Amino acid sequence: MAQVSSISNEQSQTAKSVTLKISRYNPEHDESSGFMEFNVQYEKWTTVLEAILDVKKHFDHSVAVRYSCRQATCGSCGMIINGKPRLACFTKISELDSNVVTVEPMNNFPVIRDLAVKFEKLFDTHQKIKPYLIRDDTELVSDEKEFLQTPEEVEQYIQFANCIKCGLCNSACPTMATDSSFVGPQALAQAYRYVADSRDKGKDSRLKIIDDSHGIWRCHFAGSCSQVCPKGVDPAMGIQLLRGYMLGFKS
């Protein structure tokens, strides 16, 4: 017990406090969203997600937030933190360099409640670009070798395979802000991921899907998607390289 007590004292000596402003909105009851403020203690390693869970534990258990892995792998806890889309589990309060931390649901996604948003549209557009290898043969037949690739061939797409479908890129995109039919940077980057894969033979069918007035031509290379990606996917690069295929600069 004495040891626990000393750890507790040590924590309290280094802990600072911050005002956490959480957007509250329940579509079933509320006409518009509002903010609730909480004063929370944090250490230099405390993440925004941990602060929100602290609020749920000690102040208001009704705050709605989606999370799972707490290590920037599942892509569940995307939200607007101090004006920019970020993963709450990947953002330390100490890095924000502010006495007030404002958390809101991601833009360009319908709100379920408070900080939780609907991902159906994101998953639909992701599925639309056929996110799987297309070819006539299979490596699952016995006595067949797996589809071999050189390290150089893997480098062409592996960056884009890191996408965790958190939706931050779609939230930051200026085209998504006004065009509800736009495919979005997440799906377009994933289209490039499969087009650039030497094992895939579905390039023509995939390019036909995104060659649409609300498809790849709506991207104007603002690059905000790449700036907010927590996994270094760089969707803007993928989209421009994909457009290079469509314009005939790449084969």
Partner 1 sequence: MSQDDHREGIGGMINPRRYGIERVAYLLMRLSGLGLLAYFIGHIYETSNILRGQVGWDDFMDLISGTEGHIIMSIVIAMCVFHTVNGVRVMLGHGGMGVGKPARPDYPYDPASQNYKHKIGIYSAIVLAAVAMMYGLAVMFGE
Residues at the contact surface with partner 1, assessed by CB under 8 A: 25, 27, 31-33, 83-84, 105-111, 117, 155-160, 162, 172, 174-178, 180, 196, 220-224, 226-234, 236-238, 240-245, 247, 249-250
Looking at beta carbons only, is 139 or 155 nearer to partner 1?
155
Q: Distance between CA atoms of 69 and 190, rounded to whole angstroms?
A: 22
- Enumerate the H helices of 97-160 as residue ranges: 120-128, 151-155
Q: Kindly state the smallest distance separating residue 150's Cβ from partner 1, in Å.
A: 14
User: Using an 8 Å Cβ cutoff, are 135 and 206 in contact?
Assistant: no
Looking at beta carbons only, is 40 or 175 nearer to partner 1?
175
Q: Kindly state the smallest distance separating residue 1's Cβ from partner 1, in Å.
A: 39
Neighbours of 159 (CB within 10 A): 18
Q: Kindly state the smallest distance separating residue 113's Cβ from partner 1, in Å.
A: 11
User: Using an 8 Å Cβ cutoff, are 89 and 69 in contact?
Assistant: yes
Q: Kindly state the smallest distance separating residue 109's Cβ from partner 1, in Å.
A: 6
Looking at beta carbons only, is 131 or 223 nearer to partner 1?
223
Place of tokens 């639909």: 124
**Four-CA torsion 179, 207, 224, 193, nearest 10 degrees:** 140
Q: Kindly state the smallest distance separating residue 70's Cβ from partner 1, in Å.
A: 17
User: Using an 8 Å Cβ cutoff, are 218 and 175 in contact?
Assistant: yes
Looking at beta carbons only, is 7 or 100 nearer to partner 1?
100
- Enumerate the H helices of the chain as residue ranges: 2-14, 48-58, 93-96, 120-128, 151-155, 168-172, 185-195, 203-210, 224-228, 235-247
Q: Kindly state the smallest distance separating residue 155's Cβ from partner 1, in Å.
A: 6
Residue 18 one-letter amino acid: V
Helix axes 120-128, 185-195, angle to 10 degrees: 30
Looking at beta carbons only, is 20 or 79 nearer to partner 1?
79
Strands 84-87 and 78-81: antiparallel
Looking at beta carbons only, is 40 or 85 nearer to partner 1?
85
